[in-house]
Amino acid sequence: MSKENQENEKIIPTIINANDIRNMIYIIRDQQVMLDSDLAILYGYEVKRLNEQVKRNIERFPDDFMFRLTEDEVPESLRSQNATLNKSATRRGTHRKYLPYAFTEQGIYMLATVLKGDIAEKQSIYIMRAFREMRHFIANNALLFEKVSNIELKQLEYQKSTDERFDKVFQYIENHAESTQKIFFDGQIYDAFSLMTSIIHKAESDIVLIDGYVDVNTLNILAKKKDGVNVNIYTYSGTKLTKKDIDNFNKQYPLLTVFKTQVFHDRFIIIDNTIAYHIGASIKDAGLKCFGISLLDDEILVNELIERLKEI
């Protein structure tokens, strides 16, 4: 035995058992391998010295016996050490400059013949046993692994279909962002109701409804407002909305105030004194007949409408 091997053998005080070795076996490129850093620990070598022995006998290590890992293939346990620290070298304070080598089972067997020595022979026995147990475990649980793989595949397929559905939803939202004009045909009662309640729910402070014909159905839509939002209704004097209706509404959804006026013919909704809509039908009848709704994008017109209300 060489003097170098004798010195290296003194590094390992005890033989590592098979359970410890199994934790050093990785599945990379669909095969079981061990890294040069772990093998260096087992054989009592510094990584640099171990790889020097390999390079001296490189003809014995073809690609199916040994290969260098890519950055993406480096196990996470090594990444946590910045992928440059050797597990054994950490204790010695040295650093690695290159990506690690991976040895297959055949490569490890060949490595043992290259390193020689009593410790190399004994450790190789433990390593070969660990590989054999890993093969038996995988073979005996092949059906389980297949089921797990099928489940993972279904999950990936479901995730893909879910992502596609979300993409369609987001695309729909993008393509159907609030337009300045909408038309609802007779029978689209629910669609019209949904639009009205969504407009009402935008308000953060106050809502103004100008509508000559209001009743309890109108209040049902206004009840969708946020808490603390005040509502002012401007309607005809002959409205069907009674004082009792207003009082009942205010008990649960304050504060509603009703003003009587004959000034307006058309219907409008003003949100927070900034956003105004022109509506072609009373909101209580939305969807019963064909009607349209338009967003007033002229700020001057909106301000003139608000100023006119102040005069009433």
User: So what's the pLDDT on residue 239?
Assistant: 86
What CATH number is given for 181-310 in this structure?
A: 3.30.870.10
pLDDT digits (tens, 9 = 90+) for 154-175: 555 555 555 555 455 445 444 5
On whether the CB atoms of residues 97 and 83 are closer than 8 A, the answer is no
What percent of the chain is predicted at pLDDT more than 70? 69
Secondary structure letter of residue 255 according to DSSP = -
175, amino acid identity: N
Tokens of 220: 């049902």
User: So what's the pLDDT on residue 24?
Assistant: 84
pLDDT digits (tens, 9 = 90+) for 17-64: 656 777 788 888 888 888 998 888 888 888 898 899 999 999 999 999
Cα–Cα distance measured from residue 293 to residue 247, given in angstroms and rounded to the nearest whole number = 30
Domain boundaries, the chain: 3-140, 150-177, 181-310
pLDDT digits (tens, 9 = 90+) for 179-217: 566 777 777 777 888 888 889 999 999 999 999 999 998
User: So what's the pLDDT on residue 112?
Assistant: 80
